[in-house]
Amino acid sequence: MKQTECTTILVGKNATIDGSTMIARSEDGGRVIIPESFEVVNPADQPRHYTSVISKQKIDDEDLAGEVLRYTSAPDATREKGIWAAAGINSANIAMTATETITTNARIQGVDPVLDPSEGGLGEEDFVTLTLPYIHTPEEGVKRVGYLLEKYGTYEMNGMAFSDNDHIWYLETIGGHHWIARRIPDDAYVVAPNRLNIDEFKFDDPDFMASSDLKELIETYHLNPDKEGYNMRHIFGSSTIKDAHYNNPRAWYLHNFFNPEFGGQPGDQDQPFICYANRRISIEDIKWAESSHYQDTPYDAYGDQGTPEQKKTFRPVGINRNFETHILQLRNDVPAELAGVQWLAFGPNTFNTMVPFYTNITDTPTCFKTGSKFDLKQIFWVNKLAAQLGDTNYRVYGELENDFEQKSLAQCHKIQHETDRAVKGLSGDELVAKLEEANKQMAELVYQNTVDLLGSMVNEGHGLMTLKYDLLD
């Protein structure tokens, strides 16, 4: 299972550069490479009988009945430990990303412990598949996940987000069967690392939702350490040395990127959940943030400011264990049929670029359909190879990557603008075909750009090899 990984970023419509909502997450793993794919689940392909692979939890058929919407997903290519659909946008233009692994504490685990997988329960492998095809609003997403948690339970602590073109909700699981959720203010952004993130909570406010008995549970079992109010991070989360090194520094660094007046120290335990940037946030800002590794600080593994010890002090956002990163964007300046865009990148974020795929489609480009074995015809593996070569000498290869990313993003933006104009007046199958054609064009362009990047890195690295001998040396 993927544990203690991922970094979530949420941006409300009044905080973005174009008035869209954006929910993003890097899907990270462990020491073993987990190849990720990009697929569409059409209604006929949605499972009507479902059993979790990890926990063997069987879902009642009644919970899979009713209307099923088409949706995009970024599943694990092998399916060895389940689907792990990760993120997508459905045909009602509702986006979902799941999940962000988060923390807990002994107090709540003594009251409502997470299940052992041998006991059943749901986990990251399940949530998108069991939720996204059945919802028409972000609120419905929150309520459906809450229902599933209360009925089946969970064996891990997770955070997840839902959005439409108007607003964003963020949900966190509490113990084995409880949950909390908060609507993100339209003018705010959120950075959520691998800890319980929701802080201030109001039980009598429509912008907050929770398990019906949660307030009573807090009072009955004396779970609140604060004298006034409800801070869910204090009540249910952690404040550990691991948080100070693994989680808090990522949030601190990105807060200072989005708002240099934020200040503070990397290990600060009480960084706010809801934050406000000093500018409107763009796709490029989020991609940079998801690729960041403490640049211009002593903590940058690629930098020249810190000691060897400092370079290993804090976990960065951009890391070798990034296997898939998405930005789910719902736009407000185009017709609804064009509004959903799943920006997608595979591999470590220091050496890849995002591709803005339209989600009103029935199929995805071939080179983004990843197989389980190393294959240089698939962009996942080309990206992984480029990152591992680039990591050997970031000072040399980093500028090549920056040029590649700027070029690719500009070309994709151009195709997207041209497509938005070209499909005006189209509908139905004709529109879907044009959007799939644009997706294919962008995918093949970025694939070729990535191959070209790899070629440039080989050319630059030729003269830097240690195994060489020249009469002029």
Has residue 102 been placed in a domain? yes
Has residue 57 been placed in a domain? yes
Q: What confidence score (pLDDT) does residue 5 get?
A: 81
Contact between 344 and 323 under an 8 Å Cβ cutoff? The reply is no
User: How many CA atoms does the CB half-sphere of 268 hold within 13 Å?
Assistant: 15
Long-range contacts of 184-188 (CB under 8 A, 24+ apart): 184/10, 184/12, 184/274, 185/12, 185/274, 186/12, 186/13, 186/14, 186/15, 187/12, 187/14, 187/15, 187/276, 188/12, 188/15, 188/274, 188/275, 188/276
- A 10 A CB-CB count for 120 gives 16
Coarse DSSP helix, strand, coil percentages of the chain, rounded to the nearest 5 percent: 35, 20, 45
Q: What confidence score (pLDDT) does residue 472 get?
A: 65
Torsion sign, CA atoms 303, 304, 307, 308: positive
CA neighbor of 23 nearest in space, from 98, 116, 84, 125: 98
Q: What confidence score (pLDDT) does residue 334 get?
A: 98
pTM assigned to the model: 0.98
Dump the DSSP string for 122-178: B-TTTHHHHHGGG-SSHHHHHHHHHHHHHHH-BSS-EEEEEE-SS-EEEEEEETTTE
Catalytic, out of 6, 275, 367, 412: 6
Has residue 462 been placed in a domain? no
Q: Which residue has the tokens 């693994």?
A: 246
User: How many CA atoms does the CB half-sphere of 48 hold within 13 Å?
Assistant: 8
Rounded Cα–Cα distance for residues 251 and 256 (Å): 9
CA neighbor of 352 nearest in space, from 283, 409, 436: 409
**Burial class (CB within 10 angstroms; exposed 0-12, middle 13-18, buried 19+) of 154:** buried
Q: What confidence score (pLDDT) does residue 2 get?
A: 44
How many domains, in total, are found in the chain?
Answer: 1
Has residue 28 been placed in a domain? yes
Q: What confidence score (pLDDT) does residue 349 get?
A: 97
CATH number at residue 174: 3.60.60.10
Alpha helices, DSSP H only, in 164-228? 214-220
Domain span holding position 63: 7-367
Torsion sign, CA atoms 416, 192, 169, 68: positive
- A 10 A CB-CB count for 278 gives 9
Contact between 190 and 169 under an 8 Å Cβ cutoff? The reply is no
Q: What confidence score (pLDDT) does residue 473 get?
A: 55
Contact between 27 and 323 under an 8 Å Cβ cutoff? The reply is yes
| Beta-sheet pairing, 58-59 with 95-101 | unpaired
Q: What confidence score (pLDDT) does residue 470 get?
A: 80
DSSP class of 16: B
Q: What confidence score (pLDDT) does residue 417 get?
A: 98
Has residue 473 been placed in a domain? no
- A 10 A CB-CB count for 189 gives 26
Q: How far is CA 281 from the centre of its chain?
A: 17
Note if 6 is an active site residue: yes
From first to last of the 473 residues of the chain, give the pLDDT tens digit: 444 589 999 999 999 999 999 999 999 999 899 999 999 999 999 999 999 999 999 999 999 999 999 999 999 999 999 999 999 999 999 999 999 999 999 999 999 999 999 999 999 999 999 999 999 999 999 999 999 999 999 999 999 999 999 999 999 999 999 999 999 999 999 999 999 999 999 999 999 999 999 999 999 999 999 999 999 999 999 999 999 999 999 999 999 999 999 999 999 999 999 999 999 999 999 999 999 999 999 999 999 999 999 999 999 999 999 999 999 999 999 999 999 999 999 999 999 999 999 999 999 999 999 999 999 999 999 999 999 999 999 999 999 999 999 999 999 999 999 999 999 999 999 999 999 999 999 999 999 999 999 999 999 999 999 998 887 65
